Amino acid sequence: MRSFIGCAGLLSVVIGCANDPVYIPAPMNLEGGVDDGTGTITEARAQLVLPINTETTDDATKRAARTAALGIDVPYVKVGDIEVSIEWTIKNLDAMDGDALVELNGANELFAYDPTLIVLSDDEEAPPTPGLDGDIPLHVPGNATIGGLFREDQLREASIDLDQMTRGNVNPFRALLTVSKNVDFFQPVSAYDPSMPDVAQVPVGDPIPREAFRQLIRVDLVFKPTRHMVLEYTVRVRDIRGIMNDLLLSAPPAELQQFDPQPFVVSPTP
């Protein structure tokens, strides 16, 4: 009986501690939907870099060995190392009903995704490049508050989509419209030239295995309300690998891995 009780207690603690999430509140709320004086309704944008510890020498050595074995760059933060979700609320500060869009973008270790920098066609009637997720019209009654969530699987999909676009040259529309969150690999293709849309992309190089998929390490939100509204969000992270800093946004910068993702730009050749 003693061993049974001991095991039950230990089991409850172990289960309870597995993958406990951490919550990163937004440093500031996003407020938009007011006239900026020129007749344009303001949008609001925010970026939140996940507080990830600097890579240990041991991790770097293992990663270098894996990169050499695969012949493919293995990132420090891979898909599956952390599971990220974003919960948000929108409060309509206006008495009138309004609509709002919440667009999810982000960055991995090397590339940042901003759809306004990706022009896939010089046709003015071509649809604009979409965000990584979201952009679903939301109706917000006057003075009301609504809530929503970007789930973990959506963030995982967004991570893989961004890697497909930036490392695999996959067309953003194709990457975003296909479900890739469970794929084991993806095949890079030749670069897409928007000025020559009829030229087919052909496979190039080796497939990228899942263990080398780059994870989003920064989440970007774009808030587009039609009325005066405020968006508040919290990023929830399950630290599977144990690389998040315990102090989160209060961590000293020296303890955090400094990433420098470059904007991913695609534009028609003049």
Contacts of residue 187, Cβ cutoff 8 Å, sequence gap at least 6: 168, 203, 207, 208
In the bound state with other proteins, the residue whose beta carbon lies nearer, of 43 and 232, is 232
Q: What is the CA radius of gyration of the chain?
A: 21
- CB of residue 119 to other proteins, shortest distance in Å: 34
15: left (phi over 0), alpha (psi -120 to 50) or beta: alpha
In the bound state with other proteins, the residue whose beta carbon lies nearer, of 233 and 259, is 233
**Integer angstrom CA distances of residue 212 from 42, 102, 184, 208:** 39, 29, 10, 7
- CB of residue 229 to other proteins, shortest distance in Å: 15
Find tokens 């309870």 and name the residue.
16
In the bound state with other proteins, the residue whose beta carbon lies nearer, of 20 and 184, is 20
- CB of residue 100 to other proteins, shortest distance in Å: 15
In the bound state with other proteins, the residue whose beta carbon lies nearer, of 181 and 238, is 238
- CB of residue 97 to other proteins, shortest distance in Å: 21
- CB of residue 207 to other proteins, shortest distance in Å: 37
Taking alpha carbons only, the member of 33, 147, 177, 129 closest to residue 86 is 147
In the bound state with other proteins, the residue whose beta carbon lies nearer, of 161 and 239, is 239
Helix, strand and coil content of the chain, in percent to the nearest 5, comes to 25, 30, 45
Tell me which H or E stretch contains 32: strand 30-32
- CB of residue 204 to other proteins, shortest distance in Å: 42
In the bound state with other proteins, the residue whose beta carbon lies nearer, of 12 and 61, is 12
- Structure tokens that stand for 100 in this block: 């709002």
Residues that bind other proteins (CB under 8 A): 1-2, 5-6, 8-9, 12-13, 16-17, 20-23, 25, 87-89, 145, 147, 232-234, 236, 246-251
Contacts of residue 237, Cβ cutoff 8 Å, sequence gap at least 6: 21, 22, 23, 24, 50, 82, 83, 84, 244
